[in-house]
Amino acid sequence: MGSGRFTALNGIDLTVGKGEFAGIIGPSGSGKTTLLNIIGTLDVPSEGRAVILGQSVAGLTPAASASLRKSKLGFIFQSYNLFQVHTVFENVEFPLLLQGIETAKRRQMVLDALEWVGLTDKIKSRPAQLSGGESQRVAIARAMVKRPAIVLADEPTANLDAANSHNILQTMEKLNRELQTTFLFATHDEKVISYVRRKIILLDGKVDRDEIIEKN
Amino acid sequence: MMAFNLAFRNLLGAGLRTWLNVIVLSFSFVIIIWTKGLLEGWDRQAKNDMIKWEIGGGQYWHASYDPYDPFTLSDSHGTIPGELAAIANDTSVVPVLIAQGTIFPAGRMQSVLIKGIPPEQKLLALPTEKLVSVDNDIPAIIGSTMAENTKLGEGDYVTLRWRDRNGTFDATEIRISGIFETTVPTVDVGQVWIPMEKLREMMLLPGEATLIIAGEMSGGIPVNEEWVFKDHRTLLADIEQIIKAKSSMGMIIWAILLMLAMLAVFDTQVFSIFRRQKEIGTYVALGMTRGEVVKLFTIEGAMNSVLAAMVGALYGIPLLTLQAVNGIAIPVKSSDYGIAMAEKLYPVYSLGLIAGTVFIVMLVTTIVSYWPSRKIARLNPTEALRGRMQ
């Protein structure tokens, strides 16, 4: 038991532009999830300044940060975090319900999102009836359905086998290209690393390297 | 609306746990409405029976009369005031003369109240037509409890002793000309009803009465100071007190029942918040404020009572309607309770009772659901997302 403060991030100076497909890479405890949480306005830096889509995270009221997450940010989690009692359709529909989008438009947007991830035949299934790969694709559809500016994915392939990992990474890459959505991954998975076009390598809470990968 | 939709989905998705809560809560609804309806029915029936058998539209009491003090009886009598005598007929004004006496059934001695009443009266349900004398004997009617206690039957003769206005003891034989069944013990237990004129003659009190029972239209007419009008409110005060006391006992039972149901809801809420931390974190990540999540969980808990009202209505309406129509057999005798109680009670379920009960249960459920949900407002979403206990 320690009573002292733990510094998760220290001296980070980063700018991520629109449409990037970047990975925050580092071993466990390097601070990548904390950085993702700050970018996602779920956490606030104790010092320094984080500006997301022109808004300072520290200056946001709880309602303003919730509003930002509701309309501009999408989240993909390692363990999918799907609502077990809802169907695939309802899970994907949830962010649109929060935005108060009217029924017909909402339905079309959900179907579009499920088409992007190739799950239109599973709309009535419950998460328990899906494989890990399918669950993560539902999570991607849920993150993308509102056409967010940024998608934050925390270890999205950690619970998937290689084939499923490649499949969902290709899906995300395609969405990044077609919709110009910024994707930020927190990962130490080589498969993810092989897809990203920018590697931000964290070590002990500091940026060790920041590399742009040229891809054909 | 969205919160209601989501809450409803979540609630149904919880499956068996939801239905167990709902069933327990529905029992509360039905039992609270049933017991309250029973007391309401009892109250109404007891009052109606007392009006029918004993108090009519109210009573004029002689100023000295105190039913709880037998020593006042010898002085509490007077002539019927002219205002009432003028309108007196068999349904508007019925004088009653009361005297103390003793009967000797089967060699035993028993104190009684001798009540003189005109045989032709039609105001009260007492079968006073049986007091019409055919011979020279004195006919008397008694209630079935009195008959059972004294082992007297119809046609039996029994010795009656009394003291007249001069304090002289006298005795005679009376003939039991009728035994009546009533739910009102105060006209039955320890009472002997004989013809008015006969009692006046025996007591040497011609034209006098102890109290005058008024009909619906004749109650409250101002009369001289020797007589005091007692309205329904005064005359039914005792029964209202008894019903009130019984209601208080009922309240304790409802409170226990409601508490058990609320405990189940509270427990489910606490368990939900503990078990669904990751879900709570996801709600926040997807754009809900913590306040909205608190609202969602509160609605979810409160919806237990909505479902319970529906489930309760499913079996409660037919069950309670059946009882309201057929009545509920009461195993105790009315005399054991001291107030009018029929062999069958017919519960009365008013709209106010049902709506009030549903409202109270829903309100309490909402408060109990909100209480543990407040914890969500203090959850750290990043910790919640990891499903870590906080």
Residue A187's identity, in one-letter code, is: T
Chain A contact for B290 (CB, 8 A cutoff): yes
Of B13, B288, B385, the CB nearest to A98: B288
pLDDT, mean of residues B13-25: 85
Residue partners of B143: CB distance under 8 A and separation at least 6: B179, B180, B181, B182, B185, B187, B188, B189, B191
What per-residue confidence (pLDDT) applies to B376?
A: 85
Which residues in chain B have Cβ-Cβ distances shorter than 8 Å to A94?
A: 286
In Å, how far are A10, A188, B230 from B332, measured between CA atoms?
A: 83, 80, 31
Nearest chain B residue to A62 by CA: give it: B289
What per-residue confidence (pLDDT) applies to B332?
A: 60
What per-residue confidence (pLDDT) applies to B201?
A: 94
- Report the range of poorest mean pLDDT among A118-122, A128-132, B200-204, B261-265: B261-265
Beta bridge partners of A24: A186, A200
ipTM at complex level: 0.92
State the CB neighbour count (10 A cutoff) for residue B170.
13
Domain positions in chain B = 2-52+238-385, 58-230
Can you give the C-alpha Rg of chain B in angstroms?
31
Is the CB of A66 less than 8 angstroms away from the CB of B284?
A: yes
pLDDT, mean of residues A85-105: 94
Distance of CA B51 to the CA centre of its chain: 14
Of A63, A70, A81, the CB nearest to B282: A81
Which domains does chain A carry? 21-212 (3.40.50.300)
Structure tokens belonging to residue B166: 């001069």
Is the CB of A81 less than 8 angstroms away from the CB of B281?
A: yes
Which residues in chain A have Cβ-Cβ distances shorter than 8 Å to B382?
A: 33, 37, 42-43
Q: pLDDT tens for residues B88-98?
A: 666 678 999 99
CA atoms within 13 A on the CB side of A24: 31
Calpha distance B304→B325 (Å, rounded): 30
Of A42, A98, A100, the CB nearest to B382: A42
> What secondary structure does DSSP assign to B71-86, as a single string?
GGTTT--EEPPHHHHH
What per-residue confidence (pLDDT) applies to B334?
A: 52
Q: pLDDT tens for residues A11-66?
A: 888 999 999 999 999 998 888 899 999 999 999 888 889 999 999 988 899 999 99
Cβ contact A123:A89 at 8 Å = yes
Is the CB of A67 less than 8 angstroms away from the CB of B287?
A: yes
Cβ contact A207:A12 at 8 Å = yes
Beta bridge partners of B102: B111, B161
The position carrying tokens 């239209």 is: B217
> What own/partner pairs with CB < 8 Å and gap ≥ 24 does B157-162 have?
B158/B103, B158/B104, B158/B105, B159/B103, B159/B104, B160/B101, B160/B102, B160/B103, B160/B112, B160/B114, B160/B192, B161/B101, B161/B102, B161/B103, B161/B104, B162/B99, B162/B100, B162/B101, B162/B102, B162/B114, B162/B202, B162/B203
Helix (H) / strand (E) element for B292: namely helix B290-326
pLDDT confidence bin for B107, thresholds 50/70/90:
confident
Of B9, B286, B290, the CB nearest to A95: B286
What per-residue confidence (pLDDT) applies to A216?
A: 60
Can you give the C-alpha Rg of chain A in angstroms?
17
pLDDT confidence bin for A2, thresholds 50/70/90:
very low
Structure tokens belonging to residue B368: 């109990």
Query: Does B103 or A205 have the greater pLDDT score?
Result: B103
* Burial of residue A47 (number of CB atoms within 10 Å: 0-12, 13-18, 19+): exposed
Cβ contact B320:B348 at 8 Å = no
pLDDT, mean of residues B97-126: 94
* Burial of residue B343 (number of CB atoms within 10 Å: 0-12, 13-18, 19+): middle
Which residues in chain B have Cβ-Cβ distances shorter than 8 Å to A75?
A: 282, 285-286
Of B10, B282, B287, the CB nearest to A66: B287
| Angle at CA of residue A186, ends A183 and A188, nearest 5° | 125
State the CB neighbour count (10 A cutoff) for residue B265.
25
Which residues of B, range 371-390, sit inside 8 Å of A by Cβ? 381-382, 385
Which residues in chain B have Cβ-Cβ distances shorter than 8 Å to A77?
A: 282, 385
Which residues in chain A have Cβ-Cβ distances shorter than 8 Å to B278?
A: 79, 81
Q: pLDDT tens for residues B234-290?
A: 999 888 888 788 778 778 887 888 888 888 888 888 888 888 889 999 999 999 998
Helix (H) / strand (E) element for A154: namely strand A150-154
Q: pLDDT tens for residues A168-180?
A: 899 999 999 999 9
Which residues in chain A have Cβ-Cβ distances shorter than 8 Å to B9?
A: 85-86, 90
Residue B43 backbone dihedrals phi, psi, to 5 degrees: -55, -50
What per-residue confidence (pLDDT) applies to B127?
A: 96
* A contact set with B (CB within 8 A): 33, 37, 40, 42-43, 62-63, 66-67, 69-71, 75, 77, 79, 81, 83-86, 90, 94-95, 97-100, 142
What per-residue confidence (pLDDT) applies to A128?
A: 93
Residue partners of B237: CB distance under 8 A and separation at least 6: none
Nearest-CA distance B360 → chain A (Å): 30
pLDDT confidence bin for A1, thresholds 50/70/90:
very low
Residue partners of B244: CB distance under 8 A and separation at least 6: none
> In this model, does residue B86 exceed pLDDT 80?
no
Best mean pLDDT range from B185-189, B191-195, B365-369: B191-195
- Report the range of poorest mean pLDDT among A183-197, B41-55, B149-163, B341-355: B341-355
> In this model, does residue A131 exceed pLDDT 60?
yes
Which residues in chain A have Cβ-Cβ distances shorter than 8 Å to B290?
A: 62
Instruction: Please state, rounded to an integer, the average pLDDT across all residues of chain B.
Output: 87
